[in-house]
Structure 1
C-alpha cells in the first residue's frame, strides 16, 4: 500500500485501543509504536543509496517485509519505548507486532507484492486484488474520524474497531471477486496476472499466450473490455540487455512475466501489469542508437 494508507493503519490501531486508563506518556508511546511500526518495513527505501548493482527492485518490499521479521521489528519498538519513554510494557510489543503484520500482509494484496517468505523464498507473493491506493479504505477511516467528532454516544475505540471490521469485509469481498475473475481467464492463457483498479470491484487481467499479451478490464458486474493487445519480442537473447542494464535482469526476475521491446531504437523489457496509456511504469531498456 502507499505511505498514506500505512499511516492511516497506524492511526487506526492507535484509535482502536482503549486509552481511558493510560497516562500521557503511555499514550505518546502507543502513538509512536502504532504509527512507527506501521511504517518500519518501508525502511528498505534507503537501499537506493548504495544500490550499484540494479537490485533495488528486489530489495524494496523484500526481506524487511518478511512475515518472519515481524517479531524482530516488534522487539525493536519494545526497546525504543524503554529508551524514549522509560516504559517496559509487553502490550506495546504486541501492538507493534500487529502493526507490522498489517503492513506486510496488506502489501501482498496489491500487484507490487512482497518477499513475504524471505529468506526462505525469493518469490514475490502478490494477489493483485487490492489497489496500491485504496480509496475505500481512505473513506472508511475518514468516516470514522467524522463520526468520532459528531457521535458522542459511542466510545471512539469501539467506533474504530467497527471500522477495522468493515475494512476486513471490504478486503475479503474485493479479493474474492478478483479471484473469481482471475479463475475465469486462467484457462485461456499460458500465464495470467491480476491488477486491481482504483475503482472498487474492477480489475485489469493481464494474459500472456506465446508472444501475445492482452490487457483486459473486467469485473463480475460488467463485460470484459480488451484495453490493449501487446506483442512481445523473443526473450531468448537478452544477455546484452542484462549486461548493459542490470536493472533489466532484476525486473525480469521480479515480474511474473514481461513484454520484450526489440526495435531499431531500443532493446528492453517492461512489466505489463503497470501498462497505462502506451507505456509501463516499470520499463528497463538500452538505447541501440548509442555506441
Structure 2
C-alpha cells in the first residue's frame, strides 16, 4: 500500500484502542507506536543510497517486509516504549506486532507484492487484488472519523473497531472476485497475472502465451474490454542488457513475467502489470548503437 494508507492503518489502530484509563504520556507513546510500526517495514527505501548493483527493485519490500521479521520490529518498539517512554508491560509489543503484520500482509494484496517469506524464499508474494492506493479504505476510515465526531455518545474505539471489520470484508470481497477472474483466464493463457484497478471490483488481467501478452480490463459485473496486445521477443539475447543495466536483471527476476523489447533502437524488459497508456513505468532498457 502507499504511505498514506499505512499511516491511516496506524491511526486506525490507535483509534481502535480503548484509551479511557490512559494518561497523556501513554497516549503519546501509543500514537508513536501505532504509526511508527505501521511504517517501519518501508525503511528499506534508504537502500537506494548505496544501491550500486541495481538491486533496489528486489530490496524494496524485501526482507524488511518478511513475516518472520514482524516480531523483531515489534520488539524494537517494545524497547522504545520501555526505555524512552518508560511504559511497562507487553501491550506495546502486541500492538506493534499487529501494526507491522497489517503492513506486511496488506502489501501482499498489491500487484507490487513483497518478499513475505524471505530469507527462506526470494519469491515475490503478490495477489494483485487490492490497488496500491485503495480509496475504499480511505473512505471507510473517513466515515469512522466523521461518525465519531457527530455521535460523541458512541465509543470511539468501538466505531473504529467496526471500521476494521468493514475493511476486512472489503479486502475479502475484492480478493474473492479477483481470484474468480484469475481462474477464468487460466485455461486461456500459459501465465496470468492480476492488477487491481482503483475502481472497486475492477481488475486488469495480464495473460501471456509464448511471445504474446494481452492486457484486458475486466470485472464480474461488466464485459471484458481488450486494451492491448503486446509482442515479446522471447528469443532475444539479454546478456548485453543485463551486463550494462543490472536493474534489468533484477526486474526480470522480480516480475512474474516480462515483455522483452528488441528493436532497432532499444533492448529492454518491462513489467506488463504496470502498463498504462502505451508504456510501463517499470521499464529497464539500453539504447542500441546506431551504425
How would you bin the TM-score normalised by the shorter chain?
over 0.9
Whether contact under 8 Å (1:235, 1:260) holds in the other structure is: no
Please state how far the C-alpha of 1:84 moved relative to its aligned partner. 2.0
SS at match of 1:86: coil
CA offset at residue 83 of structure 1?
2.7
The answer (yes or no) to whether the contact 1:262–1:268 under 8 Å persists in 2 is yes
Give 1:76's aligned residue. Answer: 76
Cα distance, 1:256 vs structure 2: 0.3
- Structure 1's consecutive aligned runs of 4 or more residues displaced over 3 angstroms after TM superposition are none
Please state how far the C-alpha of 1:81 moved relative to its aligned partner. 1.1
In structure 2, the partner of 1:264 is: 264
Q: 1:60 matched to which residue of 2?
A: 60
Alignment of 1:192-211 (within 5 A): 192-211=192-211
Relative to the length of structure 2, the TM-score reads: 0.99
Distance 2:153 2:195 in 1: 41
User: When the two structures are aligned, how many residues end up with a matched partner?
Assistant: 291
Partner of 2:112: 112
Q: Secondary structure at the match of 1:269?
A: strand
**Aligned residue in 1 for 2:126:** 126
1:177 & 1:105 partners in 2: Cα distance?
Answer: 19
The CA deviation string for residues 221-240 of structure 1, in whole angstroms up to 9 with x for no partner, is: 01111101111112451011
Give the Cα separation in 2 of the matches to 1:71 and 1:154.
34
**Structure 2 partner of 1:165:** 165
Q: Is the 8 A contact 2:236 2:260 kept in 1?
A: no
Partner of 1:229: 229
Q: Following superposition of structure 1 onto structure 2, how do residues 176-255 of structure 1 map, counting pairs within 5 Å? A: 176-255=176-255
Aligned to 2:15: 15
Q: What is residue 43 of structure 1 aligned with on the other side?
A: 43
Cα 1:213/1:84, change in 2 over 3 Å: same
- RMSD, matched Cα: 0.9
1:86 shift after superposition? 1.2
Secondary structure of 1:257's counterpart equals coil
Task: Determine the structure 1 residue equivalent to 2:92.
Answer: 92
Structure 1's 246 and 121: CA in aligned 2 closer, same or farther, altered over 3 A? same
The secondary structure found in structure 1 opposite 2:44 is helix
Show structure 2 runs of 5+ residues with no match: none
- How far the C-alpha of 1:289 sits from its partner, in A, is 2.9
Q: Deviations over 1:214-266 (max 9, x none)?
A: 00000000111110111111245101100000000000000000001111110
CA distance in 1, matches of 2:117, 2:233: 32
Cα gap change, 1:102/1:290 in structure 2, threshold over 3 Å: closer, same or farther? farther
Q: Counterparts of 2:175 and 2:236 in 1: how far apart (Å)? A: 35
TM-score norm. by structure 1 comes to 0.99
Separation in 2, partners of 1:257, 1:81: 44
Measure the CA separation in 1 of the matches of 2:7 and 2:213.
36
Q: Distance in 1 between matches of 2:60 and 2:2?
A: 13
In 1, Cα distance between equivalents of 2:160 and 2:203? 29
Between 110-119 and 83-92, report the one with greater CA deviation.
83-92
Question: CA, structure 1 residues 285+146, in 2 after alignment: closer, same or farther (shift >3 Å)?
Answer: same
- Provide, for residues 161-208 of structure 1, a one-character-per-residue CA deviation record: whole Å limited to 9, x for no partner: 000000000000000000000000011000000000000000000000
* Partner residue in 1 for 2:3: 3
